[in-house]
Structure formats: structure tokens, C-alpha cells
Amino acid sequence: MRLDALANSDAPLGALSGDIEISGITSDSRAVEPGYLFAALPGVNVDGSKFIGQAFEKGAVAALAGVECEGPGVINVENPRQVFSRMAARFFHAQPEIAVAVTGTNGKTSVVAFVRQIWQALGLRAASMGTVGVIGPEGPEPLAHTTPDPVILHKFLASLAHRKVSHVALEASSHGLAQHRMDGVRMTAGAFTNLSRDHLDYHKDFEDYFTQKLRLFAEVLQPGCAAVVNADFAEAGRIIEVAENRGLSIITVGEAGKTLRLVSAEPQGYGQLLLIDDVNGDRHEIYLPLIGAFQASNALVAAGLVIAAGHSDIRSVLLALENLKGAKGRLDLVGTTKAGALVMVDFAHTPDALVTALSALRPYVRGKLHVAFGAGGDRDPGKRPQMGAAAAEHADIVYVTDDNPRTENAASIREAVLAECPGAVEIGDRRKAIAHAVSNAGEGDIVLIAGKGHEPGQTIGTETFPFSDHEEVLAAIAGGNAQ
């Protein structure tokens, strides 16, 4: 691709010739090859401008950088991250015809999985992309980040398009939105699930965290697109105001929703019976094979996105909810012990998510509700005692263990959690904690292993070791001669 076509109107070329042929783009100086454009992006720990010289030595023919970094072959722009994302979109070009994005603190992974499943039930070739990787018609493919680097993101989008995938649902993390990684995706609609404390190790405060999520509606989605909002959370009005000012059409869902209003949700078996009134005045009785009010909310957000993306037959969209399967690591029922206890795995790693998961399980508990969890190191320390308090209030038996301690002292992390969790059992070794929780559960009990969900490893220091909560639960069940 010619440099002038890659830059378009986003980046003035100055003295650089527009007919330079660009063979690849990257923001990783180690990946530069002859003919590449290197994006020298500001990083959290390292400034990419320090590697411009190395990139040119390896054969780069141009570099993209901020206005403060001038030099031969350097294209200067005010916002290099945003421009690079748009360049990635132009370089790889192909994208699925319909793309929707989901942001919010909790529920993103479930919502994109549900959207993909609804589309597939409607006969469309669809994929989802986020925390658990890329899942398409051919199966799962791993991703390193919830919202990946623009080059990886657009490589995947182009690959999906070439494989005739017409519809894709993406998770939009606060990090990804703050770093403009999604600015080149041609969106049809976006959704907001809910908001609670998370990632305050990265964002300067809660307001900044919320503001970055708002970018999906204030900047990324173009006028004429649609915004789907869970009307049941406190900040919904602010989302709607931003979306309306942007010229987006509004779809609201939930108990206070107007497009899809949840009239009631009654537990029924290992699921719930939903009564839903739609914007046309029709009532729908739907069996959702998932437990918890939060899953009903996620399902309605997903249905709203499918409607926003152009499927006008509301009845067929809602009927597809009856065959939904939960995303991996989201209240997964892993097994039943010989004593008759259910063992679940969930990704809940914030105070609100832990409360939500435990509250969802409580109606199904005939004995005691157990939880084993920890808190991550090198992350927001303020939420640790809040998680301890949440577990103490909503579970009967609490085990505090290690999550991903990373470079922090694991015992100090547990101490912060235990400060608000009197009476909890402390077992630092996560494998032993899971085994202990599973073996001590009795008939009618439910055990929740929380915090890591789908993750295949545990990070201790700077090294990640293979570790799966699912596998450890199965091993503990087998060791106890469980069913």
C-alpha cells in the first residue's frame, strides 16, 4: 500500500514522498521488516520514540510519532495511537459487514458470546472477540488482550471477513478505548452493560475510568449508529445523553428498558423464566437456561444489540435466548461431588462481580454457600478489602487464597482481603485451597471458585505457570471420589 493511501488525511507527510510502498505496519520495533511503517507510540512503561532509530536500521521506511518527536522519515501527529488504529484499518481493509462492541465493567464476555450465538441461531456466520479469544465458525483462537493491539485486531477482522464471517461482536475494554485501539473498526452499534470499580491501577480515578468507556459512544460510534443501554444501572442516563448528543439511536433494555422491558424473572430449574415486553407492545415468555439476574441482563443487552444491528424480528431474536450457553468461566458448573455439592467457576474479580455471582447462586443453595477467591497483585489495591467484605456478607464459608500475585507479596495481598473478612480460612496455595473447599462441601452446598475463570495460568513474580481452576476442580472432585 502506498504511504499516502495509508496516511489518508489523518497524517501530513511533510517532506516524505507519498508513493513510498508500505509492506507492513507495527508498533513493536522488534517486528520491523524492510518496507515497514513503525508506530512509535507512548507506552505505560516505555516510550516507543526511543526505538525509531532501531526501526530505521531494520528497514523501516517511515515512522509515526507524536509532534514532539521530529526527524527524517518521521510523520508527526497529535494523537499517534488514534492515527495508527485508522492506518491499521486501511492496511488490512477487510472487515465483517456488521460489527458491534460492548463495554462496561462486568458482562462484556457473556454479551459478545450471546450476540454471536443469537446470530448463529438466525443463520448468520458470526464471531466474537474478547477476553476468551476469537470464537468463530471454525472454533476458538487465542488473544493476548481483551481489546488487542490494532494490528492484531485488524488482522483478525480481515481474516474473519475473508472466511465469509459477516457479523462480529467485540469486547471494548477501558484500556482499549483509552488507547484508541478500536478507532478504525467500522461499527454498527455499541452497548453498555454496567459500571463498578475496576482498573484503578491504570485509570487515575473512577471518573476517568467511566470517561474512557464513554468514548465508545462519544467518539468511536459514528452518527447514525445505535447505542444499547442497560437502563437499570445508575449511570444509564449519562450514557443515553452522550449517545443522543452524538446522533446515535437509542435502545434501552432491562426492568426500566423501553425497547425490551424485563417484567419478571422467575427461577425455574437451572435457569429462569423471563417475561419481556417489547417496544411494539408484545409480551414474550422466554426460558433462559442460565441462572442469575445478571445473566438475564446480559441476555437482554445481547438481544438489543442484535436488534440494533438490523434484525427487526424481535420474536425470533428472543427465542434464540432459549438455547444460549454461558461463556467459559462465567458461572460454569464444573461438577458435582459425591457428597452432592455443586462446584462452580467464575471470573468475578471485582467486589461487584463477586456480589453478583454469589447472589445469583444463593437461591440454589440448600446447604451452605462456599467461596474461594483472592485478589490480583500489581492492580488496584483499594478493592481488596472490599472483596473481602463482599465475600463475608454473601457467603457462608470463605477461603482466601492467591489469585495472580504478580510481583507483589502474596501474603500482603491476602492480609488486605482478610482485613474485612473475619472468620475466613486462609490458604495461600490456590490448588490446596480449591481442594480443601471442594472436599469440605456437603449435600446441597455450592462452592464458587472465583477470580480467574477461563484463565489457563497463574502469574507469580514475572512468570506465568500453567494453572486452570476448571482442571483443579475436576482433580479435587476425582480425588474425593465424586460423581
Q: Rounded to an integer, what distance in angstroms lies between the CA atom of residue 353 and that of residue 227?
A: 24
pLDDT at 203 over 60: no
Asked if the model's pLDDT at residue 389 lies above 70, the reply is: yes
d(CA 2, CA 430): 53
The structural domain count of the chain equals 3
Range from 185-199, 328-342, 353-367 carrying the lowest mean pLDDT: 185-199
Residue 482: per-residue pLDDT = 40
User: What was the pLDDT predicted at 480?
Assistant: 67
Give the residue among 116, 202, 234, 122 at the shortest CA–CA distance from 167. 116
203 DSSP assignment: S
pLDDT of the residue at 196: 72
Q: Could you tell me the CATH number of the domain that includes residue 371?
A: 3.90.190.20
- Average model confidence (pLDDT) across the chain: 94
Are 357 and 289 found together in one domain? no
State whether residue 398 is helix, strand or coil: strand
- The pLDDT assigned to 143 comes to 86
Residues 319 and 337 in one domain: no
Among 375, 355, 358, 377, which residue's Cα sits nearest to residue 417?
375
**Residues 336, 313 within the same domain:** no
pLDDT for position 70:
86
- Are residues 190 and 98 in contact, defined by beta-carbon separation less than 8 angstroms? no
Q: Is 293 part of any domain?
A: yes
- Write the pLDDT tens digit of every residue in 80-139: 999 999 999 999 999 999 999 999 988 999 999 999 999 999 999 999 999 899 999 999
Domain boundary among 27, 44, 79: 79
Which domain-ending residue is among 323, 348, 383? 323
Residue 254 domain-assigned? yes
Residue 409 lies in a domain: yes
Hey, which of 44-53, 103-112, 305-314, 329-338 has the most confident mean pLDDT? Answer: 305-314
CA-CA distance, 242 to 192, in Å (whole number)? 12
Same domain, 311 and 341: no
Residue 450 CA to residue 382 CA, distance in Å, equals 18
One domain for residues 10 and 145? no
Record the pTM: 0.87
Q: Among 288, 323, 358, where does a domain finish?
A: 323
3-state secondary structure of 472: helix
Q: Identify the DSSP state of 188.
A: S
pLDDT of 214: 93
Instruction: Tell me which long-range contacts 207-216 makes (C-beta under 8 A, separation of at least 24).
Output: 209/174, 210/235, 212/174, 212/177, 212/178, 213/103, 213/104, 213/172, 213/174, 213/177, 214/238, 214/239, 214/242, 215/177, 215/178, 216/101, 216/103, 216/172, 216/177, 216/182, 216/190, 216/192
pLDDT given at position 199: 47
Task: Check whether 212 has a pLDDT greater than 90.
Answer: no
Buried-exposed string 285-313: b where 16+ CB fall within 10 A, e elsewhere: ebebbbbbbbbbbbbbbbbbbbbbbebee
Q: Biggest alpha carbon distance in the chain?
A: 75
Could you tell me how far CA 241 lies from the centroid of its own chain?
A: 24
Q: Tell whether 449 and 417 lie within a shared domain.
A: yes
Mean of pLDDT values over 263-267 = 95
CA dist., res. 468 & res. 472, Å (int) = 6
Cα 311 versus chain centre, distance: 24
Q: What is the mean predicted confidence (pLDDT) over 66-72? A: 91
**pLDDT tens-digit readout, 404-441:** 999 999 999 999 999 999 999 999 999 999 999 999 99
Grid cell of 445 as nine digits: 452446598
Confidence grade of residue 483 (pLDDT, cut at 50, 70, 90): very low
Q: Quick one: 338 and 314 in the same domain?
A: no
Q: What does the pLDDT read at residue 228? A: 98
pLDDT (average), residues 204-220: 85
Report yes or no: 330 and 132 within 8 Å, Cβ to Cβ.
no
Residue 153 in grid coordinates: 485486531
- In terms of residue numbers, what domain contains 28? 3-79
The answer to whether residue 86 is domain-embedded is no
Does 389 share its domain with 451? yes
Q: Which residue stretches of 169-205 are H helix?
A: 174-178
Q: Quickly list DSSP for 274-317.
A: EEEEETTS-EEEEEESS-SHHHHHHHHHHHHHHHHTT---HHHH
pLDDT tens, 450-480?
999 989 999 999 999 999 999 999 999 998 6
> Do 293 and 355 fall within a single domain?
no
- Shared domain check, 261 and 228: yes
Do 156 and 129 contact (CB within 8 A), yes or no?
yes
pLDDT per residue over 341-354, tens digit each?
A: 999 999 999 998 99
Which residues neighbour 87 within 8 Å (Cβ) at sequence distance 6 or greater?
A: 6, 7, 10, 11, 25, 37, 39, 64, 150, 184
CATH number, residue 63: 3.40.1390.10
Place of cell 482485613: 419
Would you give the distance in Å from CA 89 to the centre of its chain? 21
**Is 411 inside a domain boundary?**
yes
